[in-house]
Amino acid sequence: MAGRMSLARRNLLQEKTRMALSVGGVALAVMLTLVLNAFLSGMNRQITSYLDHSPGSLVVAQEDVVNLLGATSLLPGGIMSQVEAVRSVDEAIPILSQFVILDLHGKKQPAYMVGYDPDEGGGPWELFAGRQPRTKREMVFDQVLAERHGLKIGDEVEVLGKDFTIVGLSDGTTSWMTSFFFLQKAAAENLLLSPGSTSFLLLTTSEGADLESTLQRLNNLPGVNALTKQEMAVNDLKLFAQVFSTPLKLMVSIAFLVGTMVVGLVIYTATVERQREYGVLKAIGARNGVLYQVVLVQALAASLTGSLAGVLLAYGVAQWIMAVRPQFLIVFDPSDAVWALLSGLGMALLAALFPARVVAGLAPAEIFRR
């Protein structure tokens, strides 16, 4: 065993350029796979960020509305008191939300406006700087979006034709698609020309309450749809997954394929170039299994070294991307590194298939032919 390991290692190291190409190809493929996956995780975290941090465990939306970000919701008038009267409902926090397009220094910027009552909640969960809005002319702006556009506390931002002064900068409310900004609910009502209207109610239930039966009671109310925050978050994720996940997963698959092909081609070429030597080994008594091991060990060494390099590269690239473009959240899960190594293993196994066929097809008697 040691002899074939040594042969595989020496074969690899003898062609340093080829080894570097192979490792580099896998490293790039793994890096791309990891970064895209982590980007998808980051995007998912951004999508559910508001629901993850807002108070309560249930959400009441307009009838047939199941998304926070993907739909406009307008609850029937007077529904608040009916909801609060439902058994097990401790608190109902109203918010008025809407997608809007901001004009920031001549650039159109989609953003998600949340109108909330600072005394009740439903606003920014973490302030990077400043305070909550105290008047209808004040706002809390996402700090990353503010930084990208050179905005700071005290600056004014025009929303739907009205100017608001930034009094606070929120953290964790960034998204590369639509960052959040927060106004008083009354200010949002004015902007949308819909006094007293509410998009969603964030419900806190009493301790030990059965959520299922509470939801049933809420859904008996006219014109509303009640669901858990988790359900709504999942719905939002599904909605955005339809748009982004498929192309991202396609890119991940392509990256895996490219990595496999790079290792496969390099090991295949190396095997074909050395097929006379493999023929010699076969002639002097090496079984096919031994030669497969030599080929596989080469593919494994190149793939796993490349995968490790890819993991390191991915972390470096992610840090660089988030420093240069803070609106992109790239979230690595420790299990991603394990998956990267497993995908490297997969690449090696696939990449060794064709070279193994070359080796298996060698006729030992050919060694005497010149």
Please, what is the minimum distance in Å from the beta carbon of residue 297 to other proteins? 13
The answer to whether 272 contacts other proteins (rule: CB under 8 A) is no
The answer to whether 20 contacts other proteins (rule: CB under 8 A) is no
The answer to whether 7 contacts other proteins (rule: CB under 8 A) is yes
> Rg of the chain's alpha carbons, rounded to an integer?
29
The answer to whether 10 contacts other proteins (rule: CB under 8 A) is yes
The answer to whether 6 contacts other proteins (rule: CB under 8 A) is yes
- Name the residue nearer to other proteins (CB basis): 108 or 368: 368
User: Going by C-beta distance under 8 Å and a sequence separation of 6 or more, which residues neighbour residue 209?
Assistant: 88
* Selected range binding other proteins among 3-11, 59-67, 68-76, 218-226, rule: CB under 8 A: 3-11
Given 167, 221, 281, 296, the residue binding other proteins (CB under 8 A) = 281
- Name the residue nearer to other proteins (CB basis): 3 or 77: 3
Query: Can you give the chain as a three-state secondary structure string?
Result: CHHHHHHHHHHHHHCHHHHHHHHHHHHHHHHHHHHHHHHHHHHHHHHCHHHHHCCCCEEEEECCCCCCCCCCCCCCCCHHHHHHHCCCEEEEEEEEEEEEEEEECCEEEEEEEEEEECCCECCCCCEEEECCCCCCCEEEEEHHHHHHCCCCCCCEEEECCEEEEEEEEECCCCCCCCEEEEEEHHHHHHHCCCCCCCCEEEEEECCCCCHHHHHHHHHCCCCEEEEEHHHHHHHHHHHHHHHHHHHHHHHHHHHHHHHHHHHHHHHHHHHHHCHHHHHHHHHCCCCHHHHHHHHHHHHHHHHHHHHHHHHHHHHHHHHHHHHHCCCCCCCCCHHHHHHHHHHHHHHHHHHHHHHHHHHHCCCHHHHHCC
Given 80, 209, 283, 341, the residue binding other proteins (CB under 8 A) = 283
Spatial CA neighbour of 26 closest among 324, 279, 264, 320: 264
Q: Which of residues 296-325 bind other proteins (CB under 8 A)?
A: none
Given 71, 257, 258, 290, the residue binding other proteins (CB under 8 A) = 290
Please, what is the minimum distance in Å from the beta carbon of residue 10 to other proteins? 4
Please, what is the minimum distance in Å from the beta carbon of residue 23 to other proteins? 18
- Name the residue nearer to other proteins (CB basis): 111 or 286: 286
Please, what is the minimum distance in Å from the beta carbon of residue 356 to other proteins? 17
The answer to whether 221 contacts other proteins (rule: CB under 8 A) is no
CA angle 62, 65, 69 (to 5 degrees): 110
- Name the residue nearer to other proteins (CB basis): 105 or 370: 370
* Selected range binding other proteins among 123-131, 203-211, 236-244, 275-283, rule: CB under 8 A: 275-283
The answer to whether 11 contacts other proteins (rule: CB under 8 A) is yes
Q: Which of residues 339-368 bind other proteins (CB under 8 A)?
A: 363-365, 367-368
Binding residues for other proteins, how many (CB under 8 A)? 29
* Selected range binding other proteins among 6-14, 115-123, 224-232, 324-332, rule: CB under 8 A: 6-14
Please, what is the minimum distance in Å from the beta carbon of residue 278 to other proteins? 9
Q: Which residues bind other proteins (CB under 8 A)?
A: 1-4, 6-7, 10-11, 13-14, 274, 276-277, 280-287, 290, 363-365, 367-370
